[in-house]
Amino acid sequence: MPSSPVPSRPPGRASSPTAGRIRKRPEERREEIVDAAAAIALDAGMERITLRAVAERLGVRPGLITHYFPAAEDLVVEAFSRASASERELFFPADERTPIQRLAHFVDHMERGLSAPLARLWLNAQHLSRFVPALDAALQQQDALDRERLSGILADGIASGDFAEVDVETASQRILLAVDGTGSYINSSAELGAVRRGFVADVAEWTLGLEPGALRRALG
C-alpha cells in the first residue's frame, strides 16, 4: 500500500514556538533587568521602578521580571546600588591624571550639573530608606565606597605634594558634605546662583590648602 504523502508545513511557520528567540543565560538576564531598573531610577525616580515598567523597557512579560525578583523591593535596592556604582565611575575615572586633575574632574561634574540625576536619586533613596531597611544599608555601603574613592585621590595628592597635609577622612567627609548640601537644592525650580555652583570647589580648596581657583585651573 503506497505511503501517504507527508503534509507540507505551511509557509512562514516556525518549526517550534521558540525558534528565532534568543534565550539568555540567567545571569545575563538578571543583569539586564537590574540595568533597566537603574536607568528608570535615574530617569524618573525609584518610585517608578515597577515590574511592569521594567518589563516594558526590556520588551518582555512582567512574569519574567517576577521570576528573578519576586519582591519588587529587592529590585529597587539593587537598582539604586547599580546606578550609584555606574555614576561613581563617571565621577572618579581611573586614568593617568594627577590627583588635583582628578579632583577637579569630580568637582567640575558637580558645578556643571552633570551629577543632577545622581543627586535626585540620593535624595529619593534617603527618603525611602526610612521605610526600607535594606535600602538604608545600601545607602551606607555606597556612601562608604564614594568616600573610599575620594579618599584615595586625596591621599595620592598629599603624597605628591598637590594637597596640604590634612586628615584624609575628615577632608573627604567635608567635600562630600558640600556635595550633599548643593544637591539638596536639586529639585528646586530656582536656578542655582554662582555661590552655590562654586561651593564644592570652595570647600575643597579650603580643606586641602589650595589657592582659590586652583581646581578650575587644573582642568586646563
Same-domain check for residues 108 and 214: yes
SS3 labels along 160-214: HCCCCCCCHHHHHHHHHHHHHHHHCCCCCCCCCCHHHHCHHHHHHHHHCCCCCCH
Q: What is the mean pLDDT of residues 165-179?
A: 95
Query: Of the candidates 162, 186, 176, 208, which has an alpha carbon nearest to the alpha carbon of residue 106?
Result: 176
Mean pLDDT of 207-216: 96
State how many domains the chain has: 2
Q: How far apart, in whole angstroms, are the C-alpha atoms of residue 104 and residue 71?
A: 41
Residue 122 and residue 43 share a domain? no
> Whole domain around residue 32: which residue ranges?
23-72
pLDDT given for residue 115 in this prediction: 81
Which parts of 9-61 fold into alpha helices (H)?
26-44, 51-58
Residue 9 lies in a domain: no
* Chain segment 36-89, per-residue pLDDT in tens: 999 999 999 999 999 999 999 999 999 999 999 998 899 999 999 999 999 999
Regarding whether 136 and 53 lie in a shared domain, the answer is no
Model confidence pLDDT, tens digit, residues 119-159: 899 999 999 999 999 999 999 999 999 999 999 999 999 99
Per-residue pLDDT at 16 exceeds 60:
no
CA dist., res. 46 & res. 66, Å (int): 17
Do 140 and 193 lie in one domain? The reply is: yes
Q: What value does the mean pLDDT take over residues 1-11?
A: 45
Specify the CATH number for the domain of residue 123.
Answer: 1.10.357.10
- Residues 107 and 204 reside in one and the same domain: yes
143 shares a domain with 104: yes
Q: What is the pTM of this model?
A: 0.81
